Amino acid sequence: MPALVTYEVEDKIALIGLNRPDKRNAINDALLVELRDILNEAADTVDAAVLFGHGQNFSAGLDLAELAKRLTPEGQAPRKRRPRHLWHSTFDLLARGNFPVVCALHGATIGGGLELASAAHIRVAEEGTFFGLPEGQRGIFVGGGGTVRTQRIIGYPMMADMMLTGRILNAEEGRQCGLAQYVVPQGKALEKAKELARIIAGNVPQTNWMITNVLPRVNDLSHEDGLFMEYLNTSMTRPPEALNRLKDFLEKRAPALSRPK
C-alpha cells in the first residue's frame, strides 16, 4: 500500500506530499498519523519544509465517507476522549514546530484542507486554486483548528460568510484576505514554494523559530506583555552564526537580499 504522505529531503528542505490523489487528498486519521510521524522525524534534520498535494488538488478536507461510517448507529465511538485531538496535535506540529513550512496550493483547498494550509507559515496558490469551508452545508463544524488559525487570517465576517453560505473564494480573492501570500500560474506553486523554502532555510534557525513560535503567540498577549515577550527574545543569547552575519553585513561581505515576487 503506498504511503499516504510522501517524504523526501533536498538540501535541508523537507518535501512533504499528501498522497491520496484518487480521494482528492481527503484527510483521514491514517493520513494524519503519517503526517505527524514525518513532522517529528523532520524536526531535527531540516531547516524548512514544503507541503503540497499530489494529483489535481491540495486537499478536499475531511474524508466524509469515513466520518459518515462513524456517525452511523453501528459506528464505534471511542470509549474515552483523547487528551488531544489528532487534528489539533498534528497541525500544531506544523504551525509551531522548529522549522517554517511553505504550502503549495492548487485545485481544491477546502474544509480540513484549508485548515491544514492555515497551519503553514507561507502559502503559494496557483491561479486555479479555490478555497471553501463547506461544513455548514454538511451539518458539521470545523475541527482542524480553523476557529483559531483560519479565523485569525481572514476574520470572523469572511469566515462566517464562507461557512454559512458555502461561498467559494478563487485564488486572487484568497490572496486578498490572506489565505495566500503569493498567486502563481498553473503548475508553478511547488516551484515557487521551493524557492521560498530555500531562502528561509538560509536564515539563522533561531530567528526562524522566533518568527514561527514567538510572533504568533504575541497576538494572545496584552500590549505590555507583548513588548515584554519581545524584550525577552531580543535578550536571548545569540548563536555565533548571528554575529558572523552581522559582521558580514557591516563589512559589506553579505550577499544582496533576495526579493521574492
Over the stretch 198-216, which tens digit does the pLDDT of each residue have? 999 999 999 999 999 999 9
Do 45 and 8 touch, CB atoms closer than 8 A?
no
Whether 143 and 18 map to the same domain: the answer is yes
Whether 196 and 212 map to the same domain: the answer is no
- Total structural domains in the chain? 2
Domain that holds residue 244: 205-250
Kindly report the pTM of this predicted structure.
0.86
Count of Cβ atoms closer than 10 Å to residue 221 Cβ? 13
C-alpha cell at 249: 553585513
Whether 75 and 128 map to the same domain: the answer is yes
Residue 217 confidence class, pLDDT cut points 50, 70, 90: very high
| Per-residue model confidence as pLDDT tens digits over 10-69 | 999 999 999 999 999 999 999 999 999 999 999 999 999 999 999 999 999 998 767 556
Residue 258, domain member (yes or no) = no
Whether 158 and 229 map to the same domain: the answer is no
Count of Cβ atoms closer than 10 Å to residue 177 Cβ? 16
- Tell me the catalytic residues: 115, 135
In sequence order, the 6+-apart residues with CB closer than 8 A to the CB of 155 are 177
Q: How many residues does the chain have?
A: 261
